[in-house]
Amino acid sequence: MARKLRIWFPGAIYHLMERGIRRLEIFQDEFDYQVFLEILKKESEQKKCNIHAYCLMTNHFHLLAESQNVEIGKFMKSLAGKYAMYYNHRHSYKGHVFEDRYKSCLVETDEYFLQTSRYIHLNPVKAKMTEHPEDYKWSSYRTIINLQDDKITEKQKTLSYFGKKGVYAYRDFVENAAQKYYIEENEIRTGMGENELWLPW
């Protein structure tokens, strides 16, 4: 069965997810996380890809990314390939680190952009890895709410939806989502093939 072609055009925004092969961990310690973020920074700069949100989990990662003049597939291939080379070398492994194909969903509306941003930043909370999203070190949330600057995240677009209230309104949007966003979360999870519910990693 032929694979479905991915839609791409300059300026397209995607929710992207890449998972470890056989769902094995892809980050074993803090150094692994730090190296991945450094590779993400360099690749996003070189390929002119704006990263609006990210979250690194134990065996997968999420990105909310906006491509410019480089196809998103080339960006993802280079990102995953360079990290896999590092990971195998450092941990003395051979073979694939990631599943053969990343998951992607084209983000076509402002509403879906914001829903996806919230979904990504709540991953560690839903997985019961932390109580509050700002306490998780390996996501863009702390940068968006001005607790740090990771030199990766393009936060202006996200905050522009909330006008003068900016950071405070976005924080409320993410942390006080409550029940009314449950359906949207299910739609995003289903679209990304995460139908197994929230797993503790």
119-142 core/surface letters (b: 16 or more CB in 10 A; e: else): bbbbbbbeeeeeeebbebebbbbb
DSSP state of 103: E
Show me where the domains of the chain are located. 13-191
Structure confidence at residue 103 (pLDDT)? 92
Give the CATH fold of the 13-191 domain: Alpha-Beta Plaits (3.30.70)
Q: What pTM, to 2 d.p., does this model score? A: 0.89
Residues 6+ apart with CB under 8 A from 50: 44, 65, 66, 68, 154, 157
Structure confidence at residue 2 (pLDDT)? 41
Q: Give 167-179 pLDDT, tens digit per residue.
A: 999 999 998 865 4
Q: Within a 10 A sphere around the Cβ of 59, how many other Cβ atoms?
A: 15
Q: Give 5-35 pLDDT, tens digit per residue.
A: 577 788 999 999 999 998 899 999 999 999 9
